[in-house]
Each structure stands twice: as C-alpha cells, then as structure tokens.
Amino acid sequence: MAEKVRIKLTVNGVVHGSEVEPRLLLVHYLREHLGLTGTHVGCDTSQCGACTVHVDGQAVKSCTMFAVQADGASVTTIEGLGSPGHLHPVQEGFWEMHGLQCGFCTPGMIMAAADLLNKNPNPSEAEIRHALEGNLCRCTGYHNIIRAVQYAAGKMAQRSAADD
C-alpha cells in the first residue's frame, strides 16, 4: 500500500488531522472519514456536479480532487452552508421554489449556485443556466432551480442592502 500522507484541513469550521491514502478522493474523505454524507457521488467522469463543495471559498468537484490536495485548505460542504433554522439564502430558495425533487443533485446544485452568487450577485437567467452547466439534475427540468437561484439572489441583495 502506498505510504499514507498526513493532512490537516478545516471542514465546516472544524480542523481535522488525518492520515490518508494518496488516492483517497476528497469526496470519499468527506463521506467516509468525516461522515459528511450530504456530498454525493453521481458519476465517475467529473460531469454531474453532485459532489460540489467549496474549497477555499470556491466551488470544486470533490470527486476530481484527492484529499491530499486539500491539505491546508478550508472546505465547506452542504452541511456547513446552513442548517434548519439557519438556512443559507440559496437553501431557502430551493425550498421556497421547489428547486428539488429527489434531492440527490441538490447539495451540489446548491453549492454551485452559492458560488455563482458569490461571484455574480445578480445573474441573468442565461448566466444562471450557464453557471449550472456542471450540475446535472434529472428531476426538475431546471425550471424551479432557476427560480430558486433568482429567489436567493433577491434575498441576498435585500440582506446586503439592510446591512448598508
């Protein structure tokens, strides 16, 4: 067996030190070592985006990254984005607008949408569709996902206006 590597990273605000096989993908580290099963695996060719998490503030596919590459990084998963009672506006949008059905693509979709709104707080419909190209959903036809992201954009704009 290849020599294990010691890594230290912050996941949802908690520091974890682990010894891992180099080939351990970040998604399996999150799911199997940390029990954070909200991040899903939907394909094996880096296409579906179900595994999307934030690494150092940016959305990435955790199935296309080894855990050792995240050494020293700060990772946010769906579990760390918001919780019932303290939902992130994107989570709230998905709930309000029925942006999910089976829920399997949802964590990745939400993480990708949150990343979009971080980078572009007021996206057009076309920009939302383009930004979600890396996240496949088989249930919703994307209609309500678009509305969910628009809802979240509105909500975040209100919040930042209130903060000003």
Partner 1 sequence: MYTAEFAYKKASSLAEALQLLQQHPEAKLLAGGHSLIPAMKLRLAAPPTLIDIAKVPELREVRLEGNTLVIGAMATYYEVETHPQVRQAAPILPMAIELIGDPMVRAKGTIGGSLAHADPAADLPAVMLALGARMKVVGPSGERVVEAERFFKGMFETDLGEGEILSEIHVPANAGKQAYAKFPHPASRYAVVGVAVVIGPEGVRAAVTGAGSHAMRLTKLEQALAGQPLTREAIEAACQGLLPPNDLNHDLVASRVYRAHLVDVIAKRALLQAAGL
Partner 2 sequence: MAEKLFGKAMKRVEDPRFITGTGTYTDDMTLPGMAEAAMVRSPYAHARIKKIDASKALAHPGVLAVITGQEMKEAGINSIPTGWLHPGIKTPPHYPITFDKARHVGDIVAAVVAENRQIAEDAAQMVEVEYEPLPAVSLGSEALKPGAPAVHDDIPDNICFTWSIGDKEAVDKAFASAHKTVKLKLRNNRLVPNAMEPRASLAQYHKASDEYTLWTTSQNPHIHRLLIAAFIMGIPEHKLRVIAPDVGGGFGSKIYQYPEEIIVLYAAKKLGRPVKWTARRSESFVTDSHGRDHETVAEMAVDQNGKITAVRVETIANMGAYLTTFAPAVPTYLYGCLLAGPYTTPHIYCHVTAPFTHTTPVDAYRGAGRPEATYLLERLADVMAHELDMDPVEFRRKNLIPPEAFPYQTPVALQYDSGNYEAALDKALEMVGYQKLRQEQAEWRKQGRYMGIGVATYIEACGLAPSALVGSLGAQAGQWESALVRVMPTGKVEVFTGTHSHGQGHETAFAQVVADELQIPVEDVSIVHGDTGRMPYGWGSYGSRSAPTGLSAIVLATRKIVDKAKRIAAHLLEAAPEDIVHEDGKFMVKGVPDKAKTFFEIALQAHLAHNYPADLEPGLEATHFYDPKNFVYPFGTHIAVVEVDPETGRVKLLRYLSVDDCGPVINPLIAEGQVHGGIAQGLGQALLEEAVYDAEGQILSGNFLEYAIPRADDLVQIEHDHTVTPCPHNPLGIKGIGEAGTIASTAAVANAVMDALRPFGIVHLDMPYTPQKVWQAIHSARKLGQAAD
Interaction of residue 59 with partner 1, rule CB under 8 A? yes
Looking up tokens 């596919």, which residue turns up?
A: 61
Coil/strand/helix, residue 76: strand
One symbol per residue from 20 to 49: x for binding partner 2 (CB under 8 A), - otherwise; what is it? -x-x-------xx---xxxxxxxxxx-xx-
75, 97, 131, 156: residue in contact with partner 1 (rule CB under 8 A): 131
Chain positions 71 to 100 lying near partner 1, rule: CB under 8 A, are: 71
Pick what 78 binds: partner 1, partner 2, none; C-beta below 5 to 8 Å, kind-dependent. partner 2
Q: Regarding beta strands 74-76 and 5-11, do their DSSP bridges make them parallel or antiparallel, or are they unpaired?
A: parallel
Angle among Cα 164, 90, 148 to the nearest 5 degrees reads: 115
d(C-alpha 100, C-alpha 15), whole Å: 31
Rounded to a whole number of angstroms, the CA Rg of the chain reads 16
Shorter beta-carbon distance to partner 2: residue 84 or 163: 84
133, 154, 158, 160: residue in contact with partner 2 (rule CB under 8 A): 133
d(C-alpha 112, C-alpha 106), whole Å: 10
Interaction of residue 25 with partner 1, rule CB under 8 A? yes
One symbol per residue from 46 to 65: x for binding partner 2 (CB under 8 A), - otherwise; what is it? -xx-x---------------
